[in-house]
Structure 1
Amino acid sequence: MQQGSTGNARQGFLLMHMMFFLSVACILIVMPFIELAGIRTGGSGKAIPPRRVYIDILCALFTVGLLLALTGNPVVSLLVAVLFEVIFVSVSNIKYKILGEPLLFSDLFVARSFLQHPKFYLFSIPWYARVFVVVFLLFLVVGAFFFVVPDIRPHLVGIAMTVLGLLGIHALPAARWVPTPALEQDLQRFGLPGITFLYWRQWKASPIPPAVPPLPGSAAYDAVVVIQCESFADPACLPLPASVGPVAMPGLTQARRWAVQQGELQVSGFGAYTMRSEYGVLYGRTEAELGFRAFDPFLTAMQESSYALPNRLKGAGYESVFVHPHDIRFYNRNLLMPACGFGRMIGPEAYGHTASADMPYVSDMALGKSIETLVRSASGPIMVHAVTMENHGPWAASSQPAQGLANYLRHLGNSDRMLLDLMHALSGMDRNILLVFYGDHRPSIPGVFTPGAARDVPYVAVSLPAGRPDDQATSPPVALSPAGLHALIVQLAVKPA
């Protein structure tokens, strides 16, 4: 009997030491190796920065410790930690391939949007990755019932590991290591977990800018119409297959002829990040001024509402209307837009749209008609800011790039037709109208359009009804940032006091 007890004790001792060495190996070697070897970056550096390894070890210590504190099961904790690291790296690589950026701290806030509108995100995730995530989540649920160890000691060890990891992460000198965002370089130097924690710390420490007053002066126009067009790009600037040939854009061509100013809008996002372009045009703050807030400026926009175009134009007598034929809760617009100074919001319920395969979202033509009605019925100076929806992806399954391109170009043609029809409709009114039209970003269609250095989209600022003669040469293009377009709108829309 005593020999049996001694044998069990020896086995327990050996098992404890084996788990200790496995844990050390997982924290010091396996998880850092997954991050270092697996993460996709745009750089070509070969050297492994010591700080990156150090941060990977701290994050591994925290992850394994947290799981051990919850389950008390070392085997399950190590296995789930490794699987989580694989998922973390894989999702970041998928995003990098499609959008040209790794996972960021700001992406963690997308969870709510994902639950509300999963089709916006699921189309970009390969089927095998979806299956893997489902199996992983089921494993976690099952593990909560069958793998939790009642012995308190491993839980206490896990708590100690979690606290040590947190203390180490908290001690990282974020302000010294990443004083300003440099995403590609920082991903190389600090790794994916590193930029997640360091950037989040710097984002939290970002100062709130001082408030600004409404602009003095009077309205230079009876109406200012600003349209942000989903995925609108000039086909002549896109790497279209030779089989497609030239794509006619009569609306954009006419708008460029009539424009008081036109050119390239230099946006930072590719295939997504509508909110960056929208924020820049609405608020007029550059990404350099925003710093770490630039990755998702809508997260902190409530603190900067005095900069918003409607609030600034109030002093000149403009009443403002926000139009978006999709769920207004997306990006928290239902709260943000009233704070911006919009006195009225028009959402999808105004259109009575029934989704179909050919037209999943409200058509741009329908949106253009509603803008025309708003301007025609206005009794005083009005500013209309519209965000279109028709040309939002997915345009087809990821396995059908040619079909995706065809659908994209069809919807792009509808957007161009809306621009042309709206210009003629507004020109026929006995009013002075400023029409500003721009794209939010280029489309991302795997197998057709992939992230690159060129990310510009067109913008036009057209003064109606005067316009420019059709036979007059297009004005020279002027490249602007979204914040620069904001400044142009202010310059044109307000007569100084």
Structure 2
Amino acid sequence: MLGLILFAAIIVLPFGAEACARKIPDEENTSIKRSTSFYLLTPLMGAFVYGSFAVFAAHPILALAGSTLFYVGLTAVSNKKYEVLDSPFNAHDFDNLRNLYIYPEFYLSYVGWPIIALVIAAFGGIIGLSLNFEDSFPIYSWLAPFPPTLSYFLFIGLWLVFIRVFRGIFSLSFNERTMNEHGVTLELKEDITRFGLFPTVMLYRMLLKMTVDKTELRTQQITAQTDKPQDIIAIQGESYFDLERLFTLLPEAKRTSWQTLRNLETDGVTTGTVEVPAWGAYTMQTEFSFLSMMENNKLGVDRINPYMRFAQKPVTTIASLLKDAGYRTICIHPAKKEFFRRSDVMPNLGFEEFIGIEEFDDASYFGKYIADSALGKRIDEIVAEHHTTSDKPLFIFAITIESHGPWASGRLDEHVNETYLIAENPTNNREFTLYQQHMENLMGLFQNLSTNSNSKRPRTVALYGDHMPALGPLFKEHGFTDIPTDYLIWNSEKQVTAPNTMAINDFAAFVMKESGVSLKR
């Protein structure tokens, strides 16, 4: 009986889950073949998963149930994530368990509470049945002279030591310096095609647990100098892009312009596209590349989530450079500061102050989150309060949240007639219609801080999109495959001349240059 359970846990479950995992489209991996390592690593991970559940559950069938829940659950999550974000599950996503507690609606809305409740109830029932009717592993009877509790914690301790020793031995031949020799590229889809979903999760997790000195990357040799400092307001617009790029692909009868943005261009705002590493989510990739001026793919395994590990130590950024040049540096995000570990990270990125949702107690909402208009009002208040007592220039980095998805029906019922808006929208798509309303508000935020501002102090205002909105089905329907987002930039003293497209890690340097700040390497 125990042999059959082990066979199922180590062989049947892992390979079965791999068979059910959504495959990378053929056009993306035509030249990549399944590695021999797949057939070795898949049962190896199966052994680790079952072993972990066995040590903590102490019962064979209960451990099998836990392993089954692990594989079935992660396969379902990965498939859903692929459907929504065009990206499978990866090892960094385990860190989102803490974000699940902070903002559950960002994740659980895609699964549904009834399914979650059913899974919890079913597993709870299995635990109850196992503890009442199933014998523990035979090895516990061999240790009968020892108290059961002592034996239980002894096994847990030995298992944790074993994993640590195994990881240490494994790292001698596989680490960030040697991974390319083993075919690991850190291009997620390529690696999953080559090694499989679950072995890739294991390999990435191993890399995350290995210590690699990246001091040289964190401490770039750059200085900032300025003779006539302006205030700089940089806005990371949640899921922003120029909507007209989609409108031009609609059937001819429905093609239209996004007049709101075109009016801003008439008023002297410069626009263009910006190449970002993220699509649909992973805001921190774009955010960190903008602030650090580093290419995302230079971060190694930290490229997927720079805030999880890399930015847990001080990093040279535009904020730290501007602070050294005499600026007061403030980050504002009208959301919970712990999300994506920003409460830990922002001081390491050079911000003297990090303002979160706790300073928006009386602010207005538009939909589920703090309105962009309220964020703009708070920025104006900070600028006015600061310059009544100080002549130091300001660098404000604002992260919007109003337009964060998902864009469910009824989200804006308190503010607009959703049915009417959908009928009038050129796409006739509910999610996009609600999203566009948020984009109109975002443009209002930018306009009030730039062309409509009555500030007497010179300022540069820039806005860029962190990633495209997760509207994959709509985009595919119209053949819209562009990954870049868009930027806006305005200077109170001059008309900005900018390239039509920039990489996000170059955009920050361009914004500073337009503000009169020069960088020297």
TM superposition score category, shorter chain reference: 0.7 to 0.9
Q: Of the candidates 364, 367, 374, which is equivalent to residue 375 of structure 2?
A: 367
Structure number with larger C-alpha Rg: 1
Q: CA deviation at 1:284?
A: 1.2
Structure 2 residue aligned with 1:104: 90
Spell out, residue by residue over 1:334-363, the C-alpha distance to the aligned partner (whole angstroms, 9 max, x if none). Answer: 23222322222332233335776x522111
The percentage of aligned residue pairs carrying the same residue is 23
Structure 1 residue aligned with 2:147: none
Q: CA deviation at 1:186?
A: 0.7
| Aligned partners of 2:275 and 2:502 also within 8 Å | yes
CA distance in 1, matches of 2:410, 2:7: 41
Q: Of the candidates 193, 213, 219, which is equivalent to residue 188 of structure 1?
A: 193
Structure 2 residue aligned with 1:457: 485
In the alignment, structure 2 segments of 5+ residues that lack a partner are 144-154, 412-421, 423-427
| Aligned partners of 1:325 and 1:347 also within 8 Å | yes
CA distance in 2, matches of 1:317, 1:456: 33
Structure 1 residue aligned with 2:38: 52
1:125 alignment partner, SS class: coil
Q: CA 1:20 to 1:385, structure 2 compared with 1: closer, same or farther past 3 Å?
A: same
**1:337 aligns to 2:364 (yes or no):** no
Partner amino acid, structure 1, of 2:442:
S
CA distance in 2, matches of 1:269, 1:205: 25
Structure 2 residue aligned with 1:392: 404
| Aligned partners of 1:251 and 1:417 also within 8 Å | no
Q: Of the candidates 200, 207, 213, which is equivalent to residue 213 of structure 2?
A: 207
Structure 1 residue aligned with 2:394: 382
Q: CA deviation at 1:404?
A: 2.2
2:474 alignment partner, SS class: coil
Structure 2 residue aligned with 1:437: 463
CA distance in 1, matches of 2:275, 2:431: 25
Structure 1 residue aligned with 2:72: 86
CA distance in 2, matches of 1:490, 1:155: 69
| Aligned partners of 2:311 and 2:348 also within 8 Å | yes
| Aligned partners of 1:301 and 1:336 also within 8 Å | no
1:226 alignment partner, SS class: strand
| Aligned partners of 2:65 and 2:126 also within 8 Å | no
Structure 1 residue aligned with 2:100: 114
The normalised TM-score by structure 2 is 0.79
| Aligned partners of 2:223 and 2:321 also within 8 Å | yes
2:354 alignment partner, SS class: strand
Spell out, residue by residue over 1:225-264, the C-alpha distance to the aligned partner (whole angstroms, 9 max, x if none). Answer: 10111111111223776586535242465248735x6421
Spell out, residue by residue over 1:408-443, the C-alpha distance to the aligned partner (whole angstroms, 9 max, x if none). Answer: 1111111112222321233x4332211111111111
**1:412 aligns to 2:439 (yes or no):** yes
**1:352 aligns to 2:361 (yes or no):** yes
CA distance in 1, matches of 2:250, 2:271: 27
Alignment of 1:215-294 (within 5 A): 215-218=223-226, 220-238=228-246, 242=251, 245-246=255-256, 248-251=258-261, 253-255=263-265, 258-259=268-269, 262-294=271-303
Equivalenced residue count is 471
CA distance in 1, matches of 2:185, 2:138: 44
Structure 2 residue aligned with 1:171: 170
| Aligned partners of 1:58 and 1:168 also within 8 Å | no
CA distance in 1, matches of 2:507, 2:266: 15
Q: CA deviation at 1:108?
A: 0.8
Structure 2 residue aligned with 1:314: 323
CA distance in 2, matches of 1:395, 1:310: 33
1:326 alignment partner, SS class: coil
In the alignment, structure 1 segments of 5+ residues that lack a partner are 1-17, 469-474
2:19 alignment partner, SS class: helix
